[in-house]
C-alpha cells in the first residue's frame, strides 16, 4: 500500500470522526435528567470520545482493508461455507435437532430456567415458521404478525375463561379466529404492492393493540385477562391437590408431585405444535398452492398471465400464516395464564420478522438458528435489554447490507423449469 493511500484513508477517518462527534455529541454527551420540577443536563463526554475513537479506528481499518482489495473477504467466505455446509447437512441437522429437542428436558443440566428459555425459543421458532409461510414463501412482508398472535391469545383466553372449555377445544378455535382475521385484513389489502402492504399490516397490528387496550368490557383493557386455565394432560390436570372427583397427573401415574411436570408438558406441547407447523410448510410447498406462492414471490405479472389469481393465492398464505400465529398465541396464553396488550407490541412483530429475515427467508433451518441465536443468546444478557435491541436492529441492517438473502439463503424456488430438479 502506498503512502498516499494511508494519508487518504487517515483523512477519511478523521472526517468520519467529525461526523461521529456530531452524531453522538448532543444525544449521548448531553443527557437530560429530570430533577424535581425541570430537566437538567448531565454531561458524559467520556463516552462520546470513546465512541468517536471507535468510529475513527473502525473506519481506518476498513479503509486499509479495502485498499488491499480483500473487502470483507473473511466475512463472506465464512458465511458462504457455513451456508453450504448447512445446506448439505440440512436433513441431518434437522434430525439431530429434533432428537436433541426431544431428550432435552431429561438432560442432567436442564433446570427450570433452561426449560423456560427453551419454551420461549420454541414459541419464537413456531412464530417464525408461521411467518415464514407469508414472508419466505409468498414474499409478503407482514409487519403486523403479532396481531394474529394477539387474536389467538385473546380468543383462547376469552373462550377458556367464559365457557370453561378445555385447551384442546380452544386451540383450534383460536387458530380459526386468527385465520379469520387474516382473511379479514388480507382481503382488501393484498392487492397492494410489497412495501405498502408492509405498512398497512403494521397499521393493522397497532389497531388491534389499541382496541385491546380500550375495549374494557371484553378485553379488560390494559389490565389484561388473568386466571386463564392451564392445559391438562388428556383430562388430567397438573395440580397438587385435585378437586373432588378429579385425578391429577401425578396421582394417575403415581409420581411425586413436581411443578416441573407441567413445564415439561408445556415444552412438549410447543415442540409438537412447532413441528406440525414445520411439517405442514414442508408439505404445502410441494402442493400447487405452495408452488403458486413461490411463483408469485418471484414474478407476480408472469403469474397473473398464467392464470394464477394473485389475491386468492396470497390470501391462503396470509390465512394459514395467521392460523399458526393464532395457535402460538393460545399456547402463549395458556403458558402465562395472564395476557395483556403489552405483550403484543410492534417490537414483537419486528423480532419475528428479524428472525425470518436473519435466518434467510424461506429457510426452515434458518429460522431455528436465528431464534436460538436471537432469543437464546441474548437471554443470557437480559440485563442489557436495551443494548440487545440495538444489536437486533443493527443485525437486521448488516444482514441486508452484506447478505441480503439471510444467513441461510434458501430463496431458491423449490422447482425450476430448466435446471436441477430437487
Binding site for another protein (CB under 8 A): 19, 22-23, 25-28, 30-34, 38-41, 139, 141, 143, 188-189, 191-196, 198-200, 202-204, 206-207, 210-211, 213-214, 301, 346-347, 350, 353-354, 357, 386-387, 389-390, 392-397, 400-401, 404
Taking the least distance from each CB to another protein, the nearer of 288 and 393 is 393
- The minimum distance between CB 115 and another protein, in angstroms, equals 29
241: number of Cβ within 10 Å: 8
Taking the least distance from each CB to another protein, the nearer of 83 and 330 is 83
Taking the least distance from each CB to another protein, the nearer of 118 and 357 is 357
Taking the least distance from each CB to another protein, the nearer of 121 and 354 is 354
Q: Cβ(152)–Cβ(174) under 8 Å?
A: yes
- The minimum distance between CB 301 and another protein, in angstroms, equals 6
Q: Cβ(117)–Cβ(372) under 8 Å?
A: no
- The minimum distance between CB 405 and another protein, in angstroms, equals 8
- The minimum distance between CB 354 and another protein, in angstroms, equals 8
C-alpha cell at 325: 400465529
Taking the least distance from each CB to another protein, the nearer of 235 and 404 is 404
Taking the least distance from each CB to another protein, the nearer of 301 and 380 is 301
- The minimum distance between CB 139 and another protein, in angstroms, equals 8
Taking the least distance from each CB to another protein, the nearer of 25 and 237 is 25
- The minimum distance between CB 192 and another protein, in angstroms, equals 6
- The minimum distance between CB 9 and another protein, in angstroms, equals 16
Query: Phi and psi (nearest 5°) for 237?
Result: -75, 155
Distance between CA 377 and CA 357 in Å, rounded? 18
- The minimum distance between CB 123 and another protein, in angstroms, equals 20
Taking the least distance from each CB to another protein, the nearer of 142 and 228 is 142
Taking the least distance from each CB to another protein, the nearer of 137 and 270 is 137
- The minimum distance between CB 379 and another protein, in angstroms, equals 17
Amino acid at each position: 500500500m502506498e503512502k498516499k493511500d494511508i494519508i487518504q484513508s487517515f483523512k477519511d477517518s478523521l472526517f468520519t470522526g467529525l461526523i461521529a462527534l456530531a452524531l453522538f455529541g448532543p444525544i449521548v454527551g448531553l443527557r437530560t435528567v429530570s430533577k424535581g420540577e425541570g430537566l437538567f443536563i448531565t454531561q458524559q463526554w467520556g463516552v462520546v470520545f470513546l465512541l468517536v475513537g471507535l468510529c475513527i479506528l473502525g473506519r481506518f481499518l476498513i479503509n486499509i482493508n479495502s485498499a488491499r482489495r480483500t473487502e470483507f473477504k473473511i466475512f463472506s467466505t465464512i458465511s458462504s461455507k457455513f451456508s453450504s455446509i448447512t445446506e448439505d447437512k440440512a436433513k441431518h441437522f434437522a434430525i439431530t435437532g429434533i432428537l436433541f429437542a426431544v431428550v432435552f428436558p431429561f438432560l442432567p443440566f436442564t433446570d427450570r430456567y433452561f426449560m423456560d428459555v427453551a419454551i420461549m425459543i420454541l414459541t419464537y421458532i413456531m412464530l417464525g415458521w408461521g411467518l415464514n409461510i407469508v414472508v419466505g414463501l409468498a414474499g409478503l412482508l407482514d409487519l403486523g404478525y403479532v396481531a394474529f398472535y394477539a387474536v389467538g391469545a385473546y380468543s383462547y383466553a376469552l373462550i377458556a375463561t367464559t365457557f370453561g372449555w378445555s385447551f384442546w377445544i380452544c386451540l383450534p378455535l383460536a387458530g380459526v379466529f386468527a385465520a379469520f382475521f387474516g382473511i379479514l385484513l388480507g382481503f382488501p389489502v393484498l392487492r397492494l404492492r410489497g412495501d405498502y402492504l408492509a405498512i398497512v399490516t403494521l397499521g393493522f397490528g397497532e389497531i388491534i393493540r389499541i382496541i385491546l387496550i380500550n375495549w374494557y368490557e371484553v378485553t379488560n383493557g390494559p389490565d389484561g385477562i388473568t386466571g386463564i386455565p392451564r392445559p391438562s394432560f388428556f383430562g388430567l390436570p397438573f395440580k397438587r391437590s385435585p378437586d373432588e372427583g378429579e385425578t391429577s397427573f401425578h396421582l394417575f401415574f403415581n409420581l411425586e408431585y413436581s411443578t416441573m411436570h407441567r413445564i415439561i408438558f408445556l415444552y412438549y406441547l410447543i415442540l409438537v405444535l412447532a413441528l406440525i407447523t414445520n411439517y405442514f410448510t414442508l408439505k404445502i410447498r410441494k402442493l400447487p398452492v405452495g408452488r403458486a406462492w413461490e411463483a408469485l414471490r418471484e414474478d407476480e405479472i408472469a403469474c397473473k398471465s398464467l392464470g394464477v389469481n394473485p389475491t386468492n393465492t396470497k390470501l391462503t398464505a396470509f390465512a394459514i400464516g395467521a392460523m399458526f400465529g393464532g395457535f402460538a398465541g393460545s399456547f402463549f396464553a395458556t403458558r402465562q395464564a395472564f395476557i395483556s396488550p403489552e405483550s403484543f407490541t410492534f417490537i414483537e412483530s419486528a423480532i419475528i420478522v428479524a428472525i425470518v429475515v436473519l435466518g434467510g427467508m424461506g429457510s426452515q433451518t434458518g429460522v431455528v438458528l436465528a431464534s436460538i441465536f436471537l432469543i437464546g443468546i441474548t437471554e443470557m444478557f437480559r440485563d442489557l435489554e436495551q443494548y440487545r435491541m440495538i444489536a437486533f436492529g443493527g443485525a437486521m441492517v448488516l444482514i441486508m447490507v452484506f447478505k441480503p438473502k439471510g444467513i441461510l439463503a434458501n430463496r431458491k424456488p423449490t422447482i425450476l423449469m430448466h435446471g436441477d430438479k430437487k
